[in-house]
């Protein structure tokens, strides 16, 4: 019977394991640190202050925060007509300061005349999209582009794609 040295066998297995681990790291594409999320300003739904907002009953805005958090702000329509971009930005910041986890917040945030709802959620990356929980049949996703994003909501038959334009508060 062949007697094996445990130490030499362990060294061989350790080398194989380290080689496999190195190959796995090199072969796996790097996770994006940032897929292009713009942390300054926010995104406004195309159709805010128009018939889509009237139908939905609110104007909708999206903001990205550091550490993969995002917020969706729902300002009641037609009150939303009178709310300027700087106030929307301040509402997002005030809402984010109130929670360190996913949450639905309904308040005036000391800035609005009518109560608005802010949904704060964590997001991750899925292929070329940002994915987050949005209360739909399955997770919503965001496809980023230069100066806008497309919010993709799952539907029963088709996906619903809603365009949001970037609003740079500092430029206004």
- Phi/psi region, residue 67 (left: phi>0; alpha: psi -120 to 50; beta: rest), is left
In the prediction, which pLDDT does 62 show? 96
Instruction: Report the alpha-carbon distance of residue 105 to residue 122 in Å, rounded.
Output: 15
First to last CA, the chain: 83
Query: pLDDT above 90 covers what percent of the chain?
Result: 56
In the prediction, which pLDDT does 11 show? 52
Instruction: Report the alpha-carbon distance of residue 104 to residue 120 in Å, rounded.
Output: 6
Which ranges in 78-118 belong to alpha helices (H)?
85-98
In the prediction, which pLDDT does 29 show? 41
In the prediction, which pLDDT does 138 show? 81
Structure tokens at 136: 């739909």
Q: Give the start-to-end residue ranges of the domains of the chain.
A: 42-167
What pTM does this model have?
0.77
Q: Are 35 and 144 in contact (CB under 8 A)?
A: yes
In the prediction, which pLDDT does 37 show? 83
User: 21-49: per-residue pLDDT in tens?
Assistant: 333 333 334 334 445 788 899 999 988 98
Residues of the chain with pLDDT under 70: 1-35, 136-137, 171-172
What are the φ/ψ torsions at residue 106 (nearest 5 degrees)? -125, 120
Q: What is the DSSP code string of 116-144?
A: EEEEEEEEEEETTEEEE--SSSS-EEEEE
In the prediction, which pLDDT does 20 show? 42
Q: What is the DSSP letter of 31?
A: P
């Amino acid at each position: 019977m062949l007697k094996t040295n445990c130490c030499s066998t362990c060294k061989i297995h350790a080398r194989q394991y380290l080689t496999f681990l190195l190959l796995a790291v090199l072969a796996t594409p790097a996770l994006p640190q940032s897929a292009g999320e713009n942390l300054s300003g926010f995104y406004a739904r195309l159709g805010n202050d128009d018939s889509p907002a009237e139908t939905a009953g609110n104007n909708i805005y999206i903001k990205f925060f550091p550490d993969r958090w995002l917020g969706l702000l729902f300002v009641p329509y037609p009150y939303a007509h009178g709310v300027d971009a700087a106030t929307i930005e301040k509402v997002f910041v005030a809402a984010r300061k109130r929670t360190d986890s996913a949450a639905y917040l309904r308040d005036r945030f000391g800035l609005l005349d009518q109560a608005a709802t802010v949904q704060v959620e964590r997001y991750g990356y899925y292929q070329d999209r940002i994915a987050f929980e949005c209360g739909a049949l399955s997770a919503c996703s965001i496809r980023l582009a230069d100066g806008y994003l497309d919010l993709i909501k799952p539907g029963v038959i088709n996906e619903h794609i809603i365009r949001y334009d970037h609003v740079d508060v500092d430029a206004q």
